[in-house]
Structure 1
Amino acid sequence: MSEFSVSGQFKNRDGYASFETTVDAENENVAREHVLSQIGSRHGVKRTGIELEEVTQR
């Protein structure tokens, strides 16, 4: 597995909040899915309220 750094922003009650996180995943698509799931779960945001700006392999 590779480590990916994912950054973006999500919609919250005050506008938008930025984030940057790292995840272990098999490929870039799996990394995107993990981050969408994590942010949605932690902050109660639907996938449509999350924008992924950059996904890079570390």
Structure 2
Amino acid sequence: MSQFTVTGQFKARDGFAEFETTIDAENENVAREHALSQLGSQHGLKRTEIDLETVEEGDN
């Protein structure tokens, strides 16, 4: 598995909040899905309220 750094922003109470998270995943698509699932669960967001800007594979 590789580590991916996912950055973006999500709709918050006072506009948009930026985030950066590191996720272990098999490929970029799986990393995107985990990030959407994780943020949605933690902040009560729908996928349409989350904007993923970059997904970069890190050194492992």
- With the shorter chain as reference, the TM-score category is over 0.9
> Taking every aligned residue pair, what percent have the same amino acid on both sides?
71
Structure 1 partner of 2:26: 26
Residue 45 (structure 1) shift: 0.7
The AA in structure 1 aligned to 2:4 is F
Residue 13 (structure 1) shift: 1.1
Structure 2 partner of 1:2: 2
Structure 2 residue ranges without an equivalent (≥5): none
| Equivalent-residue separation in structure 1 for 2:3 and 2:27 (angstroms) | 9
Structure 2 partner of 1:53: 53
| Residue-pair matches, total | 58
Residue 12 (structure 1) shift: 1.1
Deviations 1:4-54 (A, max 9, x none): 000000001111000000000000000000000000000001000000000
| Equivalent-residue separation in structure 1 for 2:26 and 2:41 (angstroms) | 21
| Equivalent-residue separation in structure 2 for 1:3 and 1:54 (angstroms) | 13
After the TM superposition, which segments of 4 or more aligned residues of structure 1 sit over 4 Å from their partners?
Answer: none
Note the aligned Cα RMSD (angstroms): 0.4
Q: Secondary structure at the match of 1:39?
A: helix
Q: TM-score by structure 2 length? A: 0.95
